[in-house]
């Protein structure tokens, strides 16, 4: 953890060294300061280049030291600003040579330099806000001065990362190179020796501001509130940028400091920051997967995938083809019906065209000159060339088994066979093949080319190599793969079950869909349960309930309307489906939409009358329900199911569940994930509430508190990072 200096003629090169990403720890910053001072006073040095070791400039402050949030990151920013200020005031030109990443404090350091030279593949951003804080080392004051108010406002308030070509257009950097960045920066430095530096010092630069600034700031705050719900740091960013506009630089720096300090002084803001930082490390933690049998990420090496095949070109299949092609993997896309194949081809081509445009706008055209080639075919035999096959036909066990039987005989003996299912039994599918160890579940989320989550479902026989290969593939696809066990609905959807039932019971008891959705959306969920159900399609669950005899022709005669096998049951969604109200796809569901396929959910008087009549018919008394009761009634059973999932070793740790919810189910990151949220609320409180709920509703089994939750409370509610040790994964070799 140090910074070192070498000289190249009259140019001193300071290299930041703190593997793996040259994070700016206190020690690293001290070291940079020391070397920077040294070269200032060395008469042989006429210019200074600052770079990072191993192709990475710096990923910003060392987040590992933030655990003590309130002291460390706050003082670290002040300290880093001292370095930035020293570089800025230097009488010798200082050039940042940016390779890999310049993020957070890393970019703030580069902003303190007089010039910035970056490699074409470098990524730059002030990402602090995504960790619940904001740039506190001059970033909010310097960036608007460099690139203008509006682009700076966007970058700082959203944590947006830009690639070097875009950074060049924005004026964030001065030069882009495809060659050796440090050499290019040294060359650049030699050319600017002796040139006046005053105009290069951002602290002296005025900000170009549009006349309607107040409107811009207010609109920005409203937009951020919608986008990030109750997240405080985004709002504070706007205030800091307002200070940059209204105050001289030195006073702006003080205001930035004061606002950053206010985060550490507010319990809510501090909790949000902790949640976001936890979410960051949870995503890294899940890559170090482990299984109950003791296999883990270290015990197997992934196989590279050159050719992948996708069977079925419905919505999911098309999305999967797109993400494989974008990762430059050669794709064989198979359909059994000519018309479907043609529709699939057109849809994939259209998505890829859109993606190309987006990439060009993000300045990525240079890097993605080609997608992986795609062969669209009706010929199943072409699958013999694939290293890995992803079956993505609709959810029907008989059909999937038929396909896997064929795959077993057509594919190379070492080819991996994946099934894209949201809940079917992986072992049953694997059982028809001669290679169950190479069979695994890959639960993609819709739209598959956009959603980051991939639930990787290990079957009983899935080998560590198979798991490792698919986890590696998820990374290649830019996704986060989370290894889960094989049980009905796996982790995410299984936990959704009790949550959705609870929400529907609220409608029986007197609430309306929009009321329930509002509470959960204000909590921060991307969509409330009813808007989400309308988006997914109410018919999906209806079909599965008909299949399992809960409703429809298979329902046993004499079954009570609101009970199944002694458990509370609500027929409300079944009735909606019987009336053709499937959600957005039919223009009517829990809400009404302007058109079939419309997205703008409007409360529907028909639903309100229908609920009113239903309650009357079943003599249900309308109970007043507070916002807090709605929240606890819906979220605590979801969390409880999370504890069951952990106890049954379906998820290997709370982080796995939280990563699934943050990336697949629109859980607000500033709440960390459902298990983190439970730990913040306090396990005794969650348990007590569940006990009361269950006592009053013994016909709802999902309210019965999980054994693991009770055990943890009995043990004095240890912190979340210790829960894993209470699970059955003791034989893990981590």
Structure tokens at 722: 């210790």
Does 74 bind ligand LFKQWZQV (CB under 6 A)? Our answer is no
- Which is catalytic among the residues 53, 108, 335, 455? 108
Does 678 bind ligand LFKQWZQV (CB under 6 A)? Our answer is no
- Full DSSP string of 218-278: HHHHHHHHHHHTT-HHHHHHHHHHHHHHHS-HHHHHHHHHHHHHHHHH-HHHHHHHHHHHH
Does 20 bind ligand LFKQWZQV (CB under 6 A)? Our answer is yes
Angle (nearest 5°) at CA 500 between 496 and 506: 150
Catalytic: 108?
yes
Nearer to ligand LFKQWZQV, 65 or 190 (CB): 65
Does 60 bind ligand LFKQWZQV (CB under 6 A)? Our answer is yes
Does 558 bind ligand LFKQWZQV (CB under 6 A)? Our answer is no
Least distance from ligand LFKQWZQV to the Cβ atom of residue 120, Å: 17
Instruction: Quote the CA–CA distance of 543 and 574 in Å, as a whole number.
Output: 9
Does 61 bind ligand LFKQWZQV (CB under 6 A)? Our answer is yes
Least distance from ligand LFKQWZQV to the Cβ atom of residue 131, Å: 5
Cβ of 370: how many Cβ atoms within 10 Å? 7
Structure tokens at 632: 């606890």
Specify the DSSP class assigned to residue 552.
G
Of the candidate residues 35, 50, 63, 511, the single one contacting ligand LFKQWZQV (CB under 6 A): 63
Nearer to ligand LFKQWZQV, 136 or 252 (CB): 136
Does 259 bind ligand LFKQWZQV (CB under 6 A)? Our answer is no
Instruction: Quote the CA–CA distance of 347 and 337 in Å, as a whole number.
Output: 15
CA dihedral 367, 370, 374, 375 (to 10 degrees): -160
Least distance from ligand LFKQWZQV to the Cβ atom of residue 476, Å: 12
Does 662 bind ligand LFKQWZQV (CB under 6 A)? Our answer is no
**For ligand LFKQWZQV, which stretch binds (CB under 6 A), given 123-131, 183-191, 593-601, 682-690?**
123-131
- Could you give phi then psi for residue 377, rounded to 5 degrees? -150, 155
Does 113 bind ligand LFKQWZQV (CB under 6 A)? Our answer is no
Nearer to ligand LFKQWZQV, 73 or 570 (CB): 73
Nearest to 700 by CA among 562, 554, 558: 562
Least distance from ligand LFKQWZQV to the Cβ atom of residue 67, Å: 11
Q: Is 524 left (phi over 0), alpha (psi -120 to 50) or beta?
A: left
SS3 sequence of 676-729: HHHHHHCHHHHHHHHHHHHHHCCCCHHHCCCHHHHHHHHCCCCCHHHHHHHCCC
**For ligand LFKQWZQV, which stretch binds (CB under 6 A), given 98-106, 375-383, 534-542, 574-582?**
98-106
**For ligand LFKQWZQV, which stretch binds (CB under 6 A), given 1-9, 72-80, 388-396, 408-416?**
72-80
Least distance from ligand LFKQWZQV to the Cβ atom of residue 289, Å: 13
* Residues in contact with 685: Cβ distance below 8 Å, sequence separation at least 6, in sequence order: none
SS3 sequence of 618-674: CCCCCCCCCHHHHHHHHHHHHHHHHHHHHHCCCCCCHHHHHHHHHHHCCCCHHHCCH
Total residues in contact with ligand LFKQWZQV, by rule CB under 6 A? 24
Nearest to 467 by CA among 321, 729, 287: 287
Of the candidate residues 34, 37, 64, 298, the single one contacting ligand LFKQWZQV (CB under 6 A): 64
**Distance separating the N- and C-terminal Cα atoms of the chain:** 25
Instruction: Quote the CA–CA distance of 135 and 77 in Å, as a whole number.
Output: 8
Least distance from ligand LFKQWZQV to the Cβ atom of residue 718, Å: 23
Of the candidate residues 12, 39, 59, 480, the single one contacting ligand LFKQWZQV (CB under 6 A): 59
Of the candidate residues 15, 77, 291, 706, the single one contacting ligand LFKQWZQV (CB under 6 A): 77
Catalytic: 128?
yes
Instruction: Quote the CA–CA distance of 441 and 482 in Å, as a whole number.
Output: 11
Alpha-carbon torsion 617, 621, 627, 631, what sign? negative
Does 21 bind ligand LFKQWZQV (CB under 6 A)? Our answer is yes
Of the candidate residues 83, 94, 131, 630, the single one contacting ligand LFKQWZQV (CB under 6 A): 131
Does 151 bind ligand LFKQWZQV (CB under 6 A)? Our answer is no
Helix (H, G, I), strand (E, B) or coil at 97: strand
Of the candidate residues 137, 244, 310, 389, the single one contacting ligand LFKQWZQV (CB under 6 A): 137
Longest dimension (CA), the chain: 96
Does 298 bind ligand LFKQWZQV (CB under 6 A)? Our answer is no
Structure tokens at 185: 């920066």
Instruction: Quote the CA–CA distance of 103 and 126 in Å, as a whole number.
Output: 6
Does 482 bind ligand LFKQWZQV (CB under 6 A)? Our answer is no
Least distance from ligand LFKQWZQV to the Cβ atom of residue 118, Å: 15
Of the candidate residues 52, 136, 302, 653, the single one contacting ligand LFKQWZQV (CB under 6 A): 136
- Which is catalytic among the residues 53, 81, 128, 335? 128
Does 182 bind ligand LFKQWZQV (CB under 6 A)? Our answer is no
HSE at residue 540, side-chain half, CA atoms within 13 A, is 14
Question: Under the rule (CB under 6 A), what is the footprint of ligand LFKQWZQV?
Answer: 20-21, 23-24, 59-64, 73, 76-77, 80, 101, 103-105, 127-128, 131, 136-137, 284
Catalytic residues: 108, 128
């Amino acid at each position: 953890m140090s910074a070192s200096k070498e000289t190249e003629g009259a140019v001193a090169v300071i290299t930041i060294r703190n593997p793996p990403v040259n994070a700016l720890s206190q020690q690293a910053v001290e070291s940079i300061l020391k070397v920077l001072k040294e070269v200032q006073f060395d008469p042989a040095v006429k210019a200074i280049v600052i770079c990072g070791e191993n192709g990475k400039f710096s990923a910003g402050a060392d987040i590992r030291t933030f655990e003590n949030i309130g002291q460390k990151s706050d003082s670290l920013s002040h300290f880093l600003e001292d370095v930035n200020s020293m570089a800025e005031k230097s009488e010798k030109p200082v050039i940042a040579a940016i390779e890999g990443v310049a993020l957070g404090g890393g970019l703030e350091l580069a902003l303190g330099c007089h010039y910035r030279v970056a490699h074409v593949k470098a990524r730059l951003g002030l990402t602090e806000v995504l960790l619940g804080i904001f740039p506190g080392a001059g970033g909010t004051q310097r960036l608007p001065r460099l690139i203008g108010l509006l682009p700076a406002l966007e970058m700082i308030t959203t944590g947006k990362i830009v690639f070097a070509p875009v950074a060049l257009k924005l004026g964030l950097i001065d030069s882009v190179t495809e060659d050796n960045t440090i050499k290019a920066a040294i060359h650049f430095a030699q050319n600017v020796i002796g040139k006046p530096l005053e105009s290069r010092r951002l602290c002296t630069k005025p900000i170009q501001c549009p006349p309607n600034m107040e409107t811009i700031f207010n609109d920005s705050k409203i937009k951020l509130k919608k986008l990030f719900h109750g997240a405080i740091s985004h709002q504070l960013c706007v205030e800091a940028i307002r200070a940059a506009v209204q105050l001289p630089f030195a006073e702006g720096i003080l205001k930035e400091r004061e606002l950053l300090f206010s985060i550490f002084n507010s319990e809510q803001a501090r909790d949000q920051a902790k949640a976001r930082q936890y979410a960051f490390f949870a995503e890294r933690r899940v890559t170090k997967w482990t299984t109950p049998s003791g296999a883990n990420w270290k015990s197997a090496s992934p196989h590279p995938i050159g050719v992948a095949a996708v069977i079925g070109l419905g919505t999911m299949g098309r999305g999967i083809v797109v993400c494989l092609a974008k990762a430059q993997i050669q794709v064989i896309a198979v359909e059994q019906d000519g018309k479907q194949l043609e529709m699939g081809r057109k849809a994939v081509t259209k998505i890829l065209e859109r993606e190309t445009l987006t990439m060009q706008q993000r300045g990525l055209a240079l890097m993605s000159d080609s997608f992986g080639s795609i062969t669209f075919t009706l010929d199943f035999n072409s699958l013999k060339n694939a290293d890995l096959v992803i079956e993505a036909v609709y959810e029907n066990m008989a059909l999937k088994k038929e396909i896997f039987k064929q795959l077993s005989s057509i594919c190379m003996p070492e080819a991996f066979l994946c099934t894209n299912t949201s809940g079917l039994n992986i072992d049953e599918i694997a059982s028809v093949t001669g290679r169950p160890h190479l069979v695994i579940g890959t639960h993609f989320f819709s739209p598959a080319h956009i959603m980051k989550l991939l639930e990787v479902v290990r079957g009983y026989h899935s080998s560590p190599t198979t798991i490792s290969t698919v986890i590696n593939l998820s990374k290649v696809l830019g996704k986060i793969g989370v290894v889960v066990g094989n049980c009905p609905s796996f982790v995410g959807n299984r936990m959704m079950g009790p949550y959705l039932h609870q929400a529907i019971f609220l409608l029986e008891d007197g609430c309306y869909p929009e009321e329930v959705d509002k509470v959960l959306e204000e909590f921060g969920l991307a969509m409330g349960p009813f808007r989400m159900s309308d988006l997914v399609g109410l018919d999906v669950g209806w079909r599965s309930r008909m299949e399992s005899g809960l409703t429809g022709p298979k329902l046993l005669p004499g079954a009570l309307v609101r009970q199944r096998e002694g458990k509370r049951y609500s027929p409300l969604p079944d009735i909606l489906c019987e009336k053709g109200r499937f959600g957005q796809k039919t223009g009517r569901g829990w809400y009404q939409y302007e058109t079939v396929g419309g997205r703008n959910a409007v409360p529907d008087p028909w639903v309100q009358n229908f609920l009113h009549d239903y309650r009357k018919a079943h003599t249900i008394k309308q109970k007043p329900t507070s916002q807090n009761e709605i929240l606890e009634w819906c979220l605590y059973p979801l969390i409880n199911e999370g504890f069951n999932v952990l106890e049954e070793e379906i998820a290997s740790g709370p982080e796995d569940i939280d990563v699934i919810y943050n990336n697949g189910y629109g859980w607000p990151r500033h709440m960390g994930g459902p298990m983190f949220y439970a730990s913040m609320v306090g396990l005794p409180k969650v348990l007590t509430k569940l006990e009361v709920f269950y006592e009053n509703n013994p016909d709802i089994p999902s309210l019965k508190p999980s054994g693991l939750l009770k055990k943890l409370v009995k043990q004095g509610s240890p912190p979340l990072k210790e829960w894993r040790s209470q699970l059955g994964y003791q034989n893990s070799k981590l």
